[in-house]
């Protein structure tokens, strides 16, 4: 059973999605509300564990930013799906950079939303038309200006190879491969897309088309 929280300040949208989710045997709506603060207050008051997946509207009417909302929910321990009309690619970019697992359009059929929730609950990232459109619609998002060697090191490392295996595969010293990954991280920081962990590097590699499919498992170094 996947525990889901719905955060949207449009009550009709929220209640409609809640009604659809309650008809399934695999999801439980544990919270439905208008903003992230209300969700976190509910968590504390009810002494509930974080929802597995939080379906979050891109723009809420309480003055908060999408980056702030995604960051708070992710830090609290939940995965985030942005549920939006996806007509603001810069805001979607901010959400993805803050840690959202993907985006699903509010015009999508209910079964696609349910499929997205299942995907994210498994720990996978969404790779759909809305996600790709958001990235392609904002060229700054994809412009980390990695060299060919940096892209190759990132591709192998993000695919799950230990850094030593990456070095062996490319026929370079371990120190060289490590230096490449360090430069990759620096370049992503410079374009506002920090990637301090291997999971973050996997996300960046998928976002930029360097790695097409998420590996089933990875080894941290």
Q: What is the pLDDT along the chain (221 residues), one digit of tens a residue?
A: 899 999 999 998 899 999 999 888 889 999 999 999 999 999 999 999 999 999 999 889 898 888 899 999 999 999 999 988 755 666 777 787 788 888 888 888 888 899 999 999 988 777 665 555 555 555 555 567 888 899 899 999 998 899 999 999 999 999 999 999 998 988 887 777 788 888 888 888 887 778 766 565 444 44
Whether the Cβ atoms of residue 126 and residue 134 lie closer than 8 Å to each other: no
pLDDT for residue 51? 96
**Which tokens sit at 91?**
């805001």
Pick from 124, 149, 91, 111: which is nearest to 26 by CA? 111
Q: How far apart are CA 78 and CA 49, in angstroms?
A: 9
- Torsion from C-alpha of 17, 107, 118, 159, nearest 10 degrees: -150
The answer to whether the 2-136 and 146-208 domains have the same CATH topology is no
In a 3-state reduction of DSSP, which class is residue 13? helix
CB 138 within 8 A of CB 97: no
Domain 146-208 architecture: Orthogonal Bundle (1.10)
Cβ neighbors of 95 (< 8 A, separation 6 or more) are 58, 66, 67, 70, 80, 82, 103
Query: How confident is the model at residue 221, as a pLDDT?
Result: 47
Q: Would you state the pLDDT for residue 134?
A: 57
CATH architecture label of 2-136: 3-Layer(aba) Sandwich (3.40)
pLDDT of 27 reads 93
In order of 103, 188, 198, 212, the CA distances from 89 in angstroms are 11, 19, 25, 21
DSSP 63-127: S--HHHHHHHHHHHT-EEEEEE----HHHHHHHHHHT--EEEETTS-HHHHHHHHHHHHTTPPP-
**pLDDT at position 162:** 93
pTM score of the predicted model: 0.62
Are 195 and 184 within 8 A, CB to CB? yes
Rg of the chain over all Cα atoms, to the nearest angstrom = 18
The values of phi and psi at residue 5, to 5°, are -115, 140
> Where in the chain are the domains?
2-136, 146-208
pLDDT at 154: 93
Q: Is 54 helix (H, G, I), strand (E, B) or coil?
A: strand
pLDDT of 123 reads 83
């Amino acid at each position: 059973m996947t525990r889901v929280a719905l955060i949207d300040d449009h009550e009709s949208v929220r209640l409609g999605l809640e009604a659809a989710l309650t008809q399934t045997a695999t999801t439980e709506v544990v919270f439905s509300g208008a903003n992230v603060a209300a969700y976190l207050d509910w968590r504390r008051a009810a002494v509930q564990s974080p929802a597995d997946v939080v379906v979050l509207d891109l723009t809420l009417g309480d003055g908060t930013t999408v980056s702030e909302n995604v960051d708070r929910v992710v830090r609290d321990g939940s995965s985030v799906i942005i549920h939006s009309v996806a007509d603001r690619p810069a805001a979607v970019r901010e959400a993805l950079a803050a840690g959202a697992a993907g985006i699903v359009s509010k015009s999508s059929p209910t079964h696609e939303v349910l499929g997205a929730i299942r995907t994210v609950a498994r720990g996978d990232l969404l790779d759909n038309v809305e996600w790709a459109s958001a990235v392609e619609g904002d060229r700054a998002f994809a412009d980390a200006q990695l060299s060919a060697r940096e892209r190759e090191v990132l591709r192998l490392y993000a695919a799950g190879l230990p850094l030593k295996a990456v070095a062996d595969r490319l026929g370079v010293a371990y120190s060289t491969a490590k230096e490449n990954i360090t430069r990759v991280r620096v370049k992503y920081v410079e374009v506002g897309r920090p990637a301090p962990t291997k999971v973050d590097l996997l996300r960046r590699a998928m976002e930029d088309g360097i790695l097409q499919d998420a590996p089933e498992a990875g080894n941290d170094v």
